[in-house]
Every structure is written in C-alpha cells, then in structure tokens.
C-alpha cells in the first residue's frame, strides 16, 4: 500500500489512524547504591516523572548482580508527555530511525549513548553520563477491547497495525526520516 493510499484510508476511517500508546524510557545501571540514585535523578530531570526501580531477575556472579537487587530505573510516558519527550529526544539521533527498529506490530525502539546530548540537559561531573533505551508502543483506537478484563475480545486482522502504517505515521507526526 502506498503512502497516499494509507493517508486517504485514515481520512475515510479515523479508527484506523495509529497513535502513540506509550513511551518507555529505560536506564540500566547494572548495580544498586549511589550509581542507581544518580540515574534516578537524571531520569526524573529528563522526563519530569518519578522513575520506578527495577530488580534483577536472577543472579549473575560475573557482573556482581544478585537476584532481587535494584539495577535499573524506568519511566512510562503516555499521551502528550510522551509526544513531547519524543520531540525532545529525536534530534539527538538526527531524526533518523532504522527501518529494522520497527517490529511486526509497528512498535519501535532506539537508544541514546549519552543523556547530555538531549537539549536542555547540562553535564554534571558529580552525576556522570548515562545511556538509555527508548521503546515506543504504537496502536490504534479500539485496542482496549483486547486487553480489558471484562468481555475481552480478539481484534480482526484488518485492524492490526502494520510496520508500514507505523512508519507513515511517525514520518508524518514526528518528522522522522526512516533509513
């Protein structure tokens, strides 16, 4: 399906137009204590929300990680804060996303090597430099019927989001170039 046909289809059928469901920002430190608190502070400064600490699922002696030890901080952004965060972070990667970054359901991910490249964030020698992963989940209106507890139903194959449609939406709304 061509880009023009997809856009025309969205105008005729508004329930087919994709949307950004959520943006998950993951900052993995690999150890608890002071480095994790610094990462927590950085993520809260960048996103404006309080991060949640994530624990290790199993012990890995080579890395010095114990099961149950907090090793990462995560923030989930939804609706307008998610879009604002993406518009702030995408210039760091030159507004380019690889086509391989998209999965079969239209979701995509990318990583940042240094958080200080984000506009408005200044380097603090006491905190250091952290990298992070950004995962964007896309869906269409009406996806809730699949995940709700009461009377959950399956979604027809025509209503499932494809990578091509997700690429067109991201190109249109965020001005991203697909490489």
Query: Per residue in 137-162, pLDDT tens?
Result: 999 988 888 889 999 988 888 888 88
Q: What is the per-residue pLDDT across 31-66, written as a single tens digit (0 to 9) for each?
A: 778 888 888 888 888 888 999 988 888 887 777 778
- Looking at residue 178, its pLDDT comes to 86
- Looking at residue 106, its pLDDT comes to 87
pLDDT band of 136, cuts 50, 70, 90 = very high
Superfamily of domain 3-178: Ribosomal protein L5 (3.30.1440.10)
d(CA 151, CA 69) in angstroms, rounded, equals: 38
Q: What is the pTM of this model?
A: 0.85
**Domain residue ranges in the chain:** 3-178
Q: Which of 53, 34, 33 is nearest to 43 (CA)?
A: 53
Could you tell me what percent of the chain has a pLDDT over 70?
100
Q: Which of 90, 105, 176 is nearest to 138 (CA)?
A: 105
Q: What is the per-residue pLDDT across 71-97, written as a single tens digit (0 to 9) for each?
A: 889 999 999 999 999 988 888 888 888
């Amino acid at each position: 399906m061509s880009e023009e046909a997809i856009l025309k289809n969205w105008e005729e059928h508004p329930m087919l137009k994709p949307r950004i469901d959520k943006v998950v920002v993951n900052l993995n430190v690999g150890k608890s204590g002071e480095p994790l608190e610094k990462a927590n502070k950085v993520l809260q400064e960048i996103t404006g929300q309080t991060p949640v600490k994530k624990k290790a699922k199993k012990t890995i002696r080579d890395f010095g990680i114990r099961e149950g030890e907090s090793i990462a901080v995560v923030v989930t952004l939804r609706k307008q804060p998610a879009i604002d965060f993406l518009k702030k972070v995408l210039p760091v990667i030159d507004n380019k996303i690889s086509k391989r970054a998209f999965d079969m359901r239209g979701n995509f991910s990318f990583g940042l090597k240094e958080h200080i490249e984000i506009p408005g964030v200044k380097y603090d020698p006491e905190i250091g430099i952290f990298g992070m992963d950004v995962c964007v989940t896309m869906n269409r209106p009406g996806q809730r019927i699949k995940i709700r507890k009461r009377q959950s139903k399956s979604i027809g194959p025509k209503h499932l989001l494809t990578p091509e449609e997700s690429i067109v939406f991201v190109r249109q709304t965020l001005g991203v170039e697909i490489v």
